[in-house]
Structure 1
Amino acid sequence: MKKTLVLLSTIAMALTLSACSDATANISDGNETLISVGSEKVTKEDVYQSLKANIGTATLAKLKAEVYKKEDIKETDEIKKQADEKLAQIKKQWGDNYEKQLKSEGFANDQELKEAYILPALYQTELQKKYVTENKEALFKSYVPYKAQIFQADDETKANDALNALKKGDKFSDVVKKYGTTSTYDGSEKVYTNQSGLPNEVFSAMSGAGKKGLIEKVITSTNTSTSVTSYYIVNLVETEPKNYEDEAIQAIAETSTLATEATKFYFKKYDMTIYDIDAYNSLKNSDLIVQ
């Protein structure tokens, strides 16, 4: 039955929508069988109802594809390389069950998986990078990117010993290896924004430092859900985004909060219009619809 539903969904998603802005439709001969899979039968009505259920997703994908084309976002050598890397990650994650999982999801081969999921996700990231680049001055102010090294420990004594070692001139990477207790903050240089998931106390300390260099105090943060306290040390490598602009753009582009913002920007730019009431109703609460 699962394969039947996957096939049904695939058929529905492949159909092209065409209707007036306030139009909906009915279907005749709904009981007519279109496909038989063993004892399972797929009728016209099955396809129609599946189409209605997926119409918002299908419409959104179609509009995004138009934006990618207008913005000249396509499968470049770099994107192809990224797609291959992502596919390799998926294969590693699914392991020996990869081929079985691939078929159960309704894909005949690797290329179909790439075209359905991997490439659109990479195109969306490229769109978001374009959006940040075009609006970088405003977005640098709102997302406040800093380039920093961060150390985290679950013990105050270790944190203080690490801070003292850094004050004496020890390398950040060596200090992390000796005193660190987490792989999340491994001391490598990264760009962090106010949407990177850092504890508020840590980001506030970064914002309040006013200059690059080691923040010479241990920053504490207690998880309100678990009551566990963690201890952080921060070295601000750079504080002016113009000095690490490409990295700052990438960091902002990858934040989950930016996807809707960027997509909506380009929908407005190209005056994208939905000509189907069911598609509109499906998407009207997505923050992408402009009344």
Structure 2
Amino acid sequence: MSPLSLLLVLSLISPTISLSFEQQLAATETSLRISNYNLFGNAISTSDLRYRLLSSSSASNASFTLFAPLDSTLYSLDMISPAAAYTQTLYYHVVNGRHTIEDLQRVCYLDTLLTHYSVLVNQNAVNDTVVDGVAIALPDLFVGPRIVVHGLDGILVPGELGLDDPVRDPEFHRELSPQASIRSEFVSPSFSPVSFNSPAMSPMSFETPADFDSTATSPAPEMMSPRSEPESVTPPISSPSGSESRSKSSKRKNRGKVGRSKGRRHRRARNVHDRHERFSKFIDRHGSDF
């Protein structure tokens, strides 16, 4: 038998044996594992809960009562909750003071290690002691000078943390108090799907092969006829507040631009006409060779 198991047995047989708080905590973890509350025992030894208990115990010989959740529910909570919420839920399973099962029948509310949170203690229809609506399945699992442990039928979850509520194991069908019902305002909010019709998520438009057909989309080039008249350009209207000299200068510039534009258009028209004539003469001269 290991030294820790020996201490545990001796503490249960002879309450007069004095154990330090750390030794009691180690014996508590062993009792939890023996009683098939393995995950809660592991959580005490590996999480911040152990440090919190040890640091709190140094003040005025403080004592605590632990409510051990079932392995299945604690595992589910670990899978669906962030680390901070998981640790806070562990704090919610520890209340201040040493309370055996008989002591629990004489209290209504107990403050937990989770600041500003308390648990409700009462009796259900079959005279089981329930904590926040979860029945105690294994009372007085461990009773020490400063630590008492009770095994639960499920898990305690403070709804205000926004966690899903795996309060009871599916194998248990006990009548629960009204306080155990899940309140709708504490259910985690569901995320609405993104609308693909919103401007931020508008679907991409894919170009069809016709979009790449230049003949289908681009306008036909305009062929300027040699006799086409140049488009008239309307000179901009000068501001009424401008001086007369600026107005005359603007008109002269506009007339110059119009004249240059007409000249370029006439030259292009003559060039096109000359090319047509040269091409016609070439065809007349060498048409028989083709």
TM class by smaller structure:
under 0.3
Q: Which has the higher contact order (CA 8 A, sep 6+)?
A: 1
Q: TM-score, normalised by structure 1?
A: 0.20
- Structure (1 or 2) with the greater helix fraction: 1
Q: Which has the larger radius of gyration?
A: 2
